[in-house]
Amino acid sequence: MACMNCETDGGGCGSGCSCSSSLPLKATGAASCLCIKCKDGVPAITVGNQTEPMCASCLYVSLLSKFKTAVNNHGLITPSDNVLVAVSGGPASRVAVEMLKEIRSKAQSDADASKDGTMKVFRLGVVYVDEATVLRLPESEAEAAVNSIKEMYDGIPVHTVELDCVYGTDGLPSDEDGDSASSKLKLTKLFESVKDMTGKEDMLELLRMQAIQTVAQISGYTKVVLALTATRIAAKVIAATTKGQGYSLPAFIQYLDGRWPIPVVLPLRDCVARELALHCHIAKLTTIFVRGLTTMADPRSSLNNLAHHFITLLQEENPSREHTIVRTAAKLTSFSFNAEVVPPSRRRRNPRNHDKGGGKSELSPEFLCSICRAPLQSSDMSPQTETTVGNGRDSSGNYADMKSTCCPSCLFQIFPEDGVQAEEKYLLFPDSTRKASTSTFSQRQKWMRSQIQDYLLPEETSGLFEYQLLFLTTMKLLLNLHTTSIYPWISRQLLNDVY
């Protein structure tokens, strides 16, 4: 290829180019085609950070520094951590692992050089979740993907796990063939029962996370790294808004997400997909592409897909849109489980981090949706139906418990059924999800009880409690008022009536 305006061969307008800056460049600056970071006139290969022409090595330095800043400023990874990176074979997770390897080897050489040898270095492993059952991929394709992943991450522990391990008992993946076949069948049925494509995608994401958590717990990891880029987070923000998840949105766009047994961190939050893909190509990092649920489908096939297309369209108009969306959404108050553990050395420099995330947790404990683990707004918690309140409930829980502890978005997309169908679907969910719903349900009962404790009748007449609760929830619905403010008032009225 030659420069358009002059006859110099090679990388665009290289150092020998004498053309004027009449190229239709998006980049600013008249010298245009030279890397603006290197001082020695290296030809630029791309436009990084939205407007800066950069050479390949400066692009990597810029990506690495964003990654390191995220890790250090937010205390995402400490030397004592055992880090598990969730990989998909795509460029983002590939680069994340490469960067962590580099940071680790630097830390290792520092540790080796230290005199007392007490310096610790974090450990690293990767996990790949094989979703072939759900995606209906031919076995050969799934096997090839697993093999390439193992090849790609040669030298560090690679865990590959099939998605149906979420059905394993007590967090252990089922090994026996019979078990595995039945859990695969369950998984297929569960996905068939979810009609909505957006619901299917969300469900896949949740089960994938459960599988990753299972591996992390069994193998003793202390942090899970997700390679979510700014591009994907921006798309998630838009998608979540359209799904009506405005309340829970701040929970999953922070650097740290502690809703899971093993905390999840997002160190690539400041990097865009485009730059990562470019770096992978230039640095000859192999990536694989595994078909997803909506691959080759119409953009309108799911909300998530549509949001992603929308973001790339915006990006085309203005390259900083992704960052703008992520930064704007990050202004929303996050939850207590997003609070970062800032290392003491950084504390004074980031005074804001102290109170970050405390805001919403003071009034009530955080109750999470039993399917997607989105924080529930108190007004979203649907009242218990008569069957759950009136009749004696066994400790194993039932579908009504689950439905009453679901966020509206999951109720709409994943679990809209009622009656017998709902009962059947409830049994298809993994044990962990069902357990979560039972425990959320009983915790919430306990919390509600504690809120009205002062106004309750003495022990011997406590059989009335269930009826009180039913009465209160009905009243709450009628008045549509905030739970915490209305409960004491109603209880008092109720007591007046009783006496």
Partner 1 sequence: MKLTLEFGGGLELLFGSVKIHKVDVPPPEGETKITVKHLLFWIRNNLLKERPEMFLKEKSVRPGVLVLINDCDWELCGMTEAVLEEKDSVVFISTLHGG
Return residues touching partner 1 (CB under 8 A).
1-4, 9-13, 23-27, 32-33, 43-47, 53, 56, 88, 90-96, 227-229, 231-232, 268, 273-274, 276-278, 281-282, 287, 289, 291-292, 295-296, 308-309, 312-313, 315-316
Closer of 236 and 434 to partner 1 (Cβ)? 236
CB of 91 to partner 1, least distance (A): 5
Phi-psi region of 32 (alpha: psi -120 to 50; beta: other; left: phi over 0): left
To 10 degrees, what angle do helices 273-282 and 230-243 make?
Answer: 150
CB of 447 to partner 1, least distance (A): 37
| CA contacts within 13 A on the Cβ side of 365 | 14
Closer of 76 and 268 to partner 1 (Cβ)? 268
CB of 232 to partner 1, least distance (A): 5
Closer of 305 and 413 to partner 1 (Cβ)? 305
Closer of 9 and 362 to partner 1 (Cβ)? 9
Closer of 184 and 308 to partner 1 (Cβ)? 308
Closer of 94 and 360 to partner 1 (Cβ)? 94
Q: Who's near 324: CB < 8 A, 6+ residues apart?
A: none
**How far is it, in rounded angstroms, from Cα 268 to Cα 225?**
9
**How far is it, in rounded angstroms, from Cα 112 to Cα 106?**
10
The encoded tokens of residue 368 equal 């999470």
- Which one-letter amino acid corresponds to residue 325? I
- Residue that is written with structure tokens 């330095």 in the block: 61
- What is residue 465's three-state secondary structure? helix
Let me know: does 85 contact 222? Beta carbons within 8 Å. no
CB of 262 to partner 1, least distance (A): 20
Closer of 329 and 342 to partner 1 (Cβ)? 329
CB of 305 to partner 1, least distance (A): 9
Q: Which long-range contacts (CB under 8 A, 24 or more apart) does 474-482 make?
A: 474/383, 476/383, 477/383, 480/379, 482/378, 482/379
CB of 90 to partner 1, least distance (A): 4
**How far is it, in rounded angstroms, from Cα 338 to Cα 353?**
11
CB of 16 to partner 1, least distance (A): 15
Closer of 309 and 356 to partner 1 (Cβ)? 309
Closer of 308 and 444 to partner 1 (Cβ)? 308
CB of 452 to partner 1, least distance (A): 46
CB of 51 to partner 1, least distance (A): 11
Let me know: does 47 contact 54? Beta carbons within 8 Å. yes
| Sign of the four-CA dihedral 422, 424, 427, 430 | negative
Going by C-alpha positions, the residue among 189, 213, 191, 186 that lies closest to residue 201 is 191
Instruction: Tell me how far apart the terminal alpha carbons of the chain are, to the nearest angstrom.
Output: 92
> Which contiguous run of DSSP H or E holds residue 226?
strand 223-226
Q: Give, in order, the Cα–Cα distances in Å from 88 to each of 224, 260, 325.
A: 14, 20, 24
**How far is it, in rounded angstroms, from Cα 65 to Cα 424?**
50
Closer of 31 and 481 to partner 1 (Cβ)? 31
CB of 82 to partner 1, least distance (A): 22
Task: Measure the CA angle with vertex 18, ends 318 and 2; round to 5°.
Answer: 70
CB of 11 to partner 1, least distance (A): 5
Closer of 235 and 249 to partner 1 (Cβ)? 235
Closer of 108 and 295 to partner 1 (Cβ)? 295
CB of 274 to partner 1, least distance (A): 5
The neighbouring-strand residues paired with 161 are 129
With residues binned 3-state (H G I as helix, E B as strand, rest as coil), the percentages for the chain, rounded to 5, are 55, 10, 40
Q: Who's near 4: CB < 8 A, 6+ residues apart?
A: 19, 23
**How far is it, in rounded angstroms, from Cα 95 to Cα 270?**
13
